[in-house]
Amino acid sequence: MCLSKIIYFCFFAYFMLMSTPDIVNGAEDPAVKVNGGESLTKIEAIQNLEKSLSNGPQQDCQSSLRDILLLLQSINSTLTEQNSAQESFVPIGNKMDISDVTGGNLTGNIFGSQSSVGTVTFEIKATQEAFAPVQDEFQNAEGKVLRRPHAVLYTGDNLTGNYEHYDFQTPTYKGGCFNLHKHEGKIKSVDTEGSCVRLFSGSGCRIWSQAIYPGVDVSVDPKLRGVMSIGPCVQNEFEHVIQEPWNSSHITIQKIPSKLRSYANIPDIIPDYFTYSGTTAVYFNSIPVYSYRLGDESRLEALAGSFHIRHMRNPEEAEANRITGLKQSFYEELALNPETDEPGYAFPLELGGPADKRYNVFPQNKLQAAKYRAEIVPEIKNFLDANPENYVRLTVNFFYENSTTTRPSGMWYLMFKDGLNEITYGYVPNSN
């Protein structure tokens, strides 16, 4: 029953794609988003569907339903973009509405133009057992790759030679970071066994980092100059990706190149600017900063320091510090987008970061600034309130689209909690 409905709707969806024009306002068919990630043109969607149809009855219900979900998203985006780009093309609103993708059912409506088939209602039903796993894979496939990572690290190329195991449940530090103790500095290739891990050139998940996950080369990048530690990938590692089946239990993942170039997605290779020349030391006492690096045009590239209980500020103190800092002339030189940006602070003011020092200030998207503060301020404050004799060490590295821009496109941070022996890290994009 499931298969017959799938084949029927595949042919109907194929007709809908074929009936949409290839040209919109003289331009090529626009790329559309599939499930908020992959860019897919109409031609590519048709080719994917033709491939699915050619498999015929051999295609199981689960993979078929997944393909249909992707296809519906493609049709929806294609028709919506064409409608907005050329209003005369769709007199009555050619679009698709997916009203329900829960409870084992997929229902919705496709509204056609006056020159097409009119309004069509479709409904595909599957058993809860068949549909639920597909929906979970469709929405959370990357979660399966990120949860409880493990890997085998080899001393030879192409997964050969001596090896060492990594398991998220047996780390050196809380948070999943593990220092190699058998073959540190000698690793050349990694088998993640379907999960995602990050390799680090220093112990304690420090210095340069490389992500290894299904769909990328298993070889260690020479920029790392050896692997000393390993840890999990970050939770937003796969915000903009292309997912494809690999076998019955695994998928391959590719980060969208345009998103990588703009640093909207976290890059696979994370450099550490403290390994470059030009680092400046800071007298460490009243402020938590002990070193930083400024690049061309005084753009902020890296910052490091340690937070103690004496550095913490209440909201009123933080605001007073911000107002005082705004008097500095360098604020006028910040490459702020007036509609989306505000002065951001690599070390938030609530944690004792200075507002009057160029090395702590950068143009930051307002929403990302709020997200960044929400991620680290309560965590650090709560830890120090409960452990006033300990400290929290933080390093931040910034990423830019090219060598001349002064507005960063993203930031990577690494946090170590003294006493708790915990290491965590994350990536905050700076997209507009």
Q: Is the pLDDT of residue 4 over 60?
A: no
- Return the pLDDT at 143: 60
Per the CB < 8 A criterion, the answer to whether 306 and 391 are in contact is yes
DSSP 8-state symbol, 174? B
Q: What's the rounded Cα separation, in Å, for the pair 313 and 319?
A: 9
Both tokens of 347, joined, read: 């070390």
Among residues of the chain, what percentage have pLDDT more than 70? 65
Give the list of residues 6+ apart from residue 278 with CB closer than 8 angstroms, or none. 293, 294, 295
pTM for the structure as a whole: 0.67
- Which has the higher per-residue pLDDT, 246 or 73? 246
Instruction: For each of the domains in the chain, give its residue range(s) and CATH number, in order of start.
Output: 2-141 (no CATH), 147-255 (2.60.20.10), 273-429 (3.40.570.10)
- Return the pLDDT at 105: 41
Average pLDDT, stretch 338-344? 93
Q: What's the rounded Cα separation, in Å, for the pair 39 and 28?
A: 14
The tens digit of pLDDT for each residue in 97-132 reads 444 434 334 444 444 433 333 333 333 333 333 333
Per the CB < 8 A criterion, the answer to whether 278 and 338 are in contact is no
Q: How confident is the model at residue 164 (pLDDT cuts 50, 70, 90)?
A: very high
Q: Is the pLDDT of residue 370 over 80?
A: yes
The overall longest dimension of the chain from CA atoms, in Å, is 74
Both tokens of 335, joined, read: 């490459």
Per the CB < 8 A criterion, the answer to whether 406 and 369 are in contact is no
Tokens 């919705």, residue?
108
Give the list of residues 6+ apart from residue 105 with CB closer than 8 angstroms, or none. 123, 124, 125, 126, 131
- Return the pLDDT at 277: 81
Q: How confident is the model at residue 144 (pLDDT cuts 50, 70, 90)?
A: low
Q: What's the rounded Cα separation, in Å, for the pair 295 and 297?
A: 6
Average pLDDT, stretch 320-343? 93
**E strand map for 296-366:** 300-307, 341-345, 361-365
Q: How confident is the model at residue 78 (pLDDT cuts 50, 70, 90)?
A: very low
The tens digit of pLDDT for each residue in 195-225 reads 899 999 999 999 999 999 887 889 999 999 9
Q: What's the rounded Cα separation, in Å, for the pair 270 and 266?
A: 8
